[in-house]
């Protein structure tokens, strides 16, 4: 498909806005498209693909382009990542740009290992310490491709095979997820929000790894459960369905805007056991009132999000090493506070969508060292009880290059006294 002049102009402007990394790339693009309603569907697709290709491969693109000027980066992305030919683009370019583009295509700069992996040096170094060479390299490669589109069925309203058949009738192909018993992986990038299945609450968009976390919590119908960092409620809704809309499920979050996004999803779901609660921090009065009364607590802690780099490649450029230290300290505080909710015999699941030891094992090990009343529960055994054929040993470790979903970590801890 031939590139149009307005597409290159729009991509240049979008890269100009995204490159400073002041805000998440998807948020910047959302506002950009709202300001440019004249851009058609193909134009928006071109710009979005170009921006995310730039973010995934920023280091090598800048080296080969020998420039960080947005127009040249837009041309570099279009030529190298989006696969358009210079011959087709020449009528859109100035003579100077044509000369530059020919030189760009002829350059093959020698890259450091971190540059070749399209990662900042500090993150490459931490992966080198945490993983074998083969896993480190495979993980880095996996982040250079977009993530698949996963959905979750609402077991209160639909069966997986029925949803799959309904999607097929609409021309959408879907396969069962390999591990999650309620997941489907969709081919392509269809507009699911327009389907009756979505509007009636039979399906939700949710990565398979996120679905699996809920099965580690294993809530019973009569339990009192807290989703401590509920966000927009993807896991909350699955937990509520697993409880068959019985018991009591609190969705805690410090962000009112995130809880506001939960409301329409909750209305579609048909659940009546979910109670959204805005808290000011991990020491909020609502936390104190429920101390020692909760059967199950999920802590999907705020984290670097590096397990989601296929979806959010800007995160690898937006975070600095000091951010990880600050996050780890915050995660430790949140876990300690959330643990006060758990009654004897109850359990807490600590989880992140990070792949860094500092945010995962180090936080859990530090908690266990200072909280004698908790003991670890084997995650693989819990998943086996749920019929999920996934063994990552005592703690859940999901990696995109191995499991095909986002990167997740989780540890199950039981209160013994």
- Distance, in Å, from the CA atom of 325 to the CA atom of 360, rounded to the nearest integer, reads 12
Q: Which of 260, 257, 239 is nearest to 248 (CA)?
A: 239
In sequence order, what are the residues at sequence separation of 6 or more whose Cβ sits closer than 8 angstroms to the Cβ of residue 371? 336, 339
Under 8 Å between Cβ of 407 and 209: yes
Phi, psi (deg, nearest 5) at residue 253 = -165, 150
Of 214, 229, 303, 353, which is the active-site residue? 353
Q: How far apart, in Å, are the Cα atoms of 181 and each of 96, 155, 199, 402? A: 56, 10, 22, 18
Half-sphere exposure for 234 (CA within 13 Å, toward CB): 15
Q: Name the strand (E) or helix (H) holding 62.
A: helix 58-65
- Distance, in Å, from the CA atom of 118 to the CA atom of 56, rounded to the nearest integer, reads 7
- Distance, in Å, from the CA atom of 174 to the CA atom of 107, rounded to the nearest integer, reads 41
SS3 226: strand
> Where are the alpha helices (H) located in 342-392, listed in sequence order?
361-370, 379-385
**E strands within 121-266?**
149-153, 174-176, 183-186, 203-205, 224-227, 248-253
Under 8 Å between Cβ of 13 and 32: yes
Length of the chain in residues, anyone?
417
Under 8 Å between Cβ of 267 and 179: no
β-bridge partners, 128: none
Is-catalytic flag, 353?
yes
Under 8 Å between Cβ of 353 and 308: yes
- Quick one: 194 exposed, middle or buried, by C-beta within 10 A (0-12, 13-18, 19+)? exposed
Q: Report, as residue numbers or ranges, the catalytic residues.
A: 353
């Amino acid at each position: 498909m031939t590139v149009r002049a307005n597409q290159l102009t729009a991509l240049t402007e979008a890269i100009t806005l995204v490159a400073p990394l002041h805000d998440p790339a998807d948020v910047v693009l959302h506002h950009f498209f709202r300001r440019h309603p004249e851009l058609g569907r193909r134009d928006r697709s071109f710009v979005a693909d170009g921006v995310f290709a730039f973010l995934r491969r920023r280091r090598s693109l800048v080296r080969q382009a020998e420039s960080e000027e947005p127009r040249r980066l837009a041309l570099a992305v279009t030529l190298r990542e989006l696969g358009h030919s210079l011959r087709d683009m020449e009528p859109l370019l100035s003579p100077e740009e044509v000369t530059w583009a020919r030189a760009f295509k002829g350059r093959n700069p020698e890259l450091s290992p971190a540059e070749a992996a399209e990662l900042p040096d500090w993150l490459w170094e931490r992966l080198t310490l945490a993983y074998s060479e083969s896993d480190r390299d495979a993980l880095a490669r996996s982040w250079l491709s977009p993530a698949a589109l996963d959905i979750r069925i609402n077991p209160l309203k639909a069966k997986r095979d029925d949803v799959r058949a309904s999607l097929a009738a609409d021309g959408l192909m879907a396969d069962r997820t390999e591990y999650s018993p309620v997941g489907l992986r969709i081919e392509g990038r269809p507009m699911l929000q327009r389907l009756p299945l979505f509007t009636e609450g039979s399906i939700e968009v949710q990565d398979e790894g996120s679905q699996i976390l809920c099965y580690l919590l294993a809530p019973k119908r009569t339990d009192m459960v807290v989703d401590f960092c509920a966000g927009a409620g993807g896991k909350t809704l699955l937990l509520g369905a697993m409880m068959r809309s019985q018991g009591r499920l609190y969705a805690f979050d410090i962000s009112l805007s995130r809880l506001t996004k939960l409301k329409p999803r909750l209305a579609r779901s048909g659940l009546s056991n979910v109670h959204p609660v805005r808290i000011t921090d991990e020491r909020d009065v609502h936390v104190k009132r429920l101390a020692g009364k909760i059967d199950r607590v999920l802590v999907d802690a705020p984290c670097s999000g590096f397990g989601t780099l296929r979806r959010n490649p800007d995160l690898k450029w937006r975070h600095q090493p000091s951010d990880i230290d600050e996050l780890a300290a915050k995660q430790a505080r949140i876990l300690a506070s959330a643990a006060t909710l758990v009654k004897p015999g109850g359990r807490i699941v600590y989880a992140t969508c990070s792949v860094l030891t500092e945010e995962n094992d180090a936080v859990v090990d530090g908690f266990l060292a200072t909280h004698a009343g908790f003991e670890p529960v084997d995650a693989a055994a819990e998943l086996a009880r749920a019929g999920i054929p996934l063994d990552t040993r005592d703690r859940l470790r999901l990696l995109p290059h191995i499991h095909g979903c986002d990167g997740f970590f989780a540890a199950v801890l039981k209160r013994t006294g």
